[in-house]
Structure 1
């Protein structure tokens, strides 16, 4: 499929075929899509929790109780479920880990470049610390990763359901997020839709180009 065909074919899956599993080689590519997602100053302020069995999915599904019960089958029947969480702070030790990884990956031509890039990143994080919005900033970066995951899934023929309909407090407690310096951002289920997925049969509906774009 072309990119446009992929974009118009992609939809938010409402019901999954629980008998179908994503092949390991395909899911490995989806994990790489998350890992290689861009982030401001390469901060990578995220962590991803993956469930590919009933026990793991049941832990996540605890957060789809009460008013969010409609999402429970989309968690339990999917092949894989990912909780995308964002960091609530970016401490010096974490930033140093990023710099060391960049060093290993050959990102620095020389020591001066390393110092300059590290200083720039630390300075930008410091600005957000002064503004008191590091957690919000990190969550915005995590949503970029979600976008990469959804498009990559569509390109690989995998269906997906992004969900904000969950009890964050329950998920926080179940996964021990707060003590890890994390906050839940969004849940994404992945797999293959079933015949009960009414959304797969509906045409796309988006506002017209003229109401969305202003060419300067």
Structure 2
């Protein structure tokens, strides 16, 4: 596996072959890449909505109307589409769920270790609550998950399109996100590009190394 070659050839897909589906074993791996993404204090402040048929994709495509119509075909023609949403709050009961899961997964040597970890995470969340930026913080964590998904897709030979071009209000209503204390962060379409995907034929363009790195 040549990581640099994959990075140079990965691209944002502009058109999908609607007749090609991602094999189930690869889908399972892609979903695991989301579930195992890192997050600050293991907060995992996200929820992922997965559409793998026309009915599910049509629900998401409702948010690609008006000025976002250019994304409609990318949603409908892709094999799978995932809405990455972030939590608006991290209440005490959710933090307790995290602690219970870590306990079940054997991450604590003893009760003291569990108490210390739980107190530390709760304290860090409290700092963001005081700053009033919990939704911004959780969205940042959700974008880490997006990065893991995009790289994992490229490693598995699956094309992807991250999209912020959607009507958040429409998507929030369609998926009942407000009632779930969630906000939509980004949509990612997954599948295999078609011959109409002009971006697959273009060379990559990035600023040179000397422009983006400073060695100190």
The TM-score, its normalising length taken from structure 1, stands at 1.00
Q: Deviations over 1:79-137 (max 9, x none)?
A: 00000000000011111000000000000011111011100000000000000000000
Match of 1:4 in 2: 4
1:215 aligned to 2:215? yes
Residue 50 of structure 1 and its aligned partner are, at CA, apart by 0.2
Q: Whole-Å Cα distance in 1 between the matches of residues 186 and 132 of structure 2?
A: 22
Residue 174 of structure 1 and its aligned partner are, at CA, apart by 0.2
Match of 2:106 in 1: 106
In structure 1, list runs of 5 or more residues that go unmatched: none
Q: Whole-Å Cα distance in 1 between the matches of residues 101 and 180 of structure 2?
A: 21
Match of 2:48 in 1: 48
Match of 2:132 in 1: 132
1:197 aligned to 2:197? yes
* Secondary structure of the corresponding residue to residue 63 of structure 2: helix
1:181 aligned to 2:181? yes
Match of 1:121 in 2: 121
Q: Whole-Å Cα distance in 2 between the matches of residues 213 and 163 of structure 1?
A: 27
Match of 1:88 in 2: 88
The alignment yields a C-alpha RMSD, in angstroms, of 0.4
Match of 1:149 in 2: 149
Equivalences, count: 216
* Secondary structure of the corresponding residue to residue 14 of structure 1: coil
In structure 2, list runs of 5 or more residues that go unmatched: none
1:74 aligned to 2:70? no
* Secondary structure of the corresponding residue to residue 153 of structure 2: helix
The TM-score, its normalising length taken from structure 2, stands at 1.00
Q: Whole-Å Cα distance in 2 between the matches of residues 73 and 8 of structure 1?
A: 25
* Secondary structure of the corresponding residue to residue 63 of structure 1: coil
1:59 aligned to 2:59? yes
Runs of 4 or more, structure 1, over 4 Å off, are none
1:29 aligned to 2:29? yes
Match of 1:17 in 2: 17
